[in-house]
Copies of this chain bind each other. A is one copy, B any other.
């Protein structure tokens, strides 16, 4: 979290100018919000580090982790929130409702917690079709049942036509962290092995296929899925797992760069081990996208201490959502804070975060 100075409370009085308020963001960068601020890449990080984090600063907030860990009554609770603005709201393999349930379930699971309860808040645009709303709510019900969570409280707001986009959904959730489990990006250490639970870049390409009218031999479906069951399997065989992360917005790259920075260690990937569907790979080539930047949904990265990788991999492969799990790299002492990849042809290249927006409204 940034420790740069921020202005005093009095500065927010109406009439005080932006300059007076000594906003720590260089105004010359961006005076307005741009789509890249929602990319999950560098601009999102700048916004969080310079504007949001200094105001939310406290020992529990960790803007680069998937959720907060709260001590309540002798227990450790995981607490997380996500808003969903995906476009279109129905896409191959899912819809915004399913995504909204899975998204928060997964963020809580990535804290090593069993997700228990979700809140759901809708922002509906005037004119949104009731039958579509009904379909989405029904889809959320099924997704919650599948993940074993309860939808316990909610809110519904309506905005005038042209001031929203059909439906936005926020889900927040709480879960109980397993005793003895301590998952945090900081815990990644040189020697740790990096496992991914299956083929990457699928969600992003599924969404893009609808938007751009791409045609495949077989339809590419979003990989959206609840990962808490797979996390249980991992924790059962390796309660000492160092890091869990679902690489959604910003793709594998953003997730691994965040971890490298927090852990002050390097990440070394091996290109030939990255699981990727042939159609997805082809689509990325045609569209000029790096699959490492493309969003995933029902996938996770597990970073495990040396000596545990094969056990965890084997357990993951026995789970329906982990059949194509693979060890894709390791944590290294070299180049701390940086992700590199050994390419198929034997070179090594830096794998950096996206600086702008590749595909807006992917989740």
Asked if A21 lies at the interface with its beta carbon under 8 angstroms from chain B, I say yes
Which residue of the partner chain, among B70, B75, B130, contacts A23 with CB atoms under 8 Å?
B130
Is A73 a contact partner of B75 (Cβ separation < 8 A)? yes
Stretch of A60-68, A275-283, A285-293 lying at the B interface: A60-68
Q: What is the bound-complex CA distance between A18 and B130, given in angstroms?
A: 9
Is A151 a contact partner of B9 (Cβ separation < 8 A)? no
A348 smallest CB distance to B (angstroms):
33
Contacts of A131 in B (CB 8 A): 17-18, 21, 23, 27, 31
Q: What is the bound-complex CA distance between A172 and B104, given in angstroms?
A: 13
Is A174 a contact partner of B70 (Cβ separation < 8 A)? yes
Is B141 a contact partner of A81 (Cβ separation < 8 A)? no
Interface residues of A in 1-33 (CB under 8 A from B): 6-7, 9, 11-12, 14, 16-18, 21, 23, 25, 27, 30-33
Interface residues of A in 26-47 (CB under 8 A from B): 27, 30-38, 44, 47
Q: What is the bound-complex CA distance between A172 and B70, given in angstroms?
A: 14
Which residue of the partner chain, among B83, B128, B163, contacts A157 with CB atoms under 8 Å?
B83
Is B70 a contact partner of A130 (Cβ separation < 8 A)? no
Asked if A333 lies at the interface with its beta carbon under 8 angstroms from chain B, I say no
Q: What is the bound-complex CA distance between A158 and B44, given in angstroms?
A: 10
Q: What is the bound-complex CA distance between A81 and B120, given in angstroms?
A: 7
Q: What is the bound-complex CA distance between A158 and B87, given in angstroms?
A: 12
Is A162 a contact partner of B160 (Cβ separation < 8 A)? no
> How many residues on the A side are at the interface (Cβ–Cβ under 8 A)?
97
Nearest to A47 among chain B residues (CB) is B156
Is A172 a contact partner of B130 (Cβ separation < 8 A)? no
Nearest to A135 among chain B residues (CB) is B12
Task: Work out how many copies of this chain go into the complex.
Answer: 2
Which residue of the partner chain, among B34, B74, B135, B153, contacts A61 with CB atoms under 8 Å?
B153
Known A151-B56, A170-B81: A165·B163 in contact at CB below 8 Å: yes
Nearest to A173 among chain B residues (CB) is B172
Asked if A335 lies at the interface with its beta carbon under 8 angstroms from chain B, I say no
Q: What is the bound-complex CA distance between A20 and B181, given in angstroms?
A: 46
Which residue of the partner chain, among B68, B73, B138, B154, contacts A63 with CB atoms under 8 Å?
B154
Q: Mark A94-120, 1 if CB is under 8 A from B, else 0.
A: 000000000000000000000011011
Is B150 a contact partner of A32 (Cβ separation < 8 A)? no
Contacts of A75 in B (CB 8 A): 72-73, 75
Q: What is the bound-complex CA distance between A74 and B25, given in angstroms?
A: 45
Q: What is the bound-complex CA distance between A162 and B156, given in angstroms?
A: 21
8 A–B pairs (Cβ distance < 8 Å), ordered by A: A9-B142, A12-B135, A17-B131, A33-B126, A58-B150, A72-B77, A81-B170, A159-B360
B-binding residues in A (CB < 8 A) = 6-7, 9, 11-12, 14, 16-18, 21, 23, 25, 27, 30-38, 44, 47-48, 51-52, 55-56, 58, 60-63, 67-68, 70, 72-75, 77, 79-85, 90, 116-117, 119-131, 133-135, 137-142, 145, 150-160, 162-165, 168, 170, 172, 174, 176, 360-361
The 9 closest A-B pairs by CB, nearest first: A38-B158, A18-B131, A172-B172, A81-B119, A68-B152, A170-B170, A73-B75, A55-B141, A163-B165
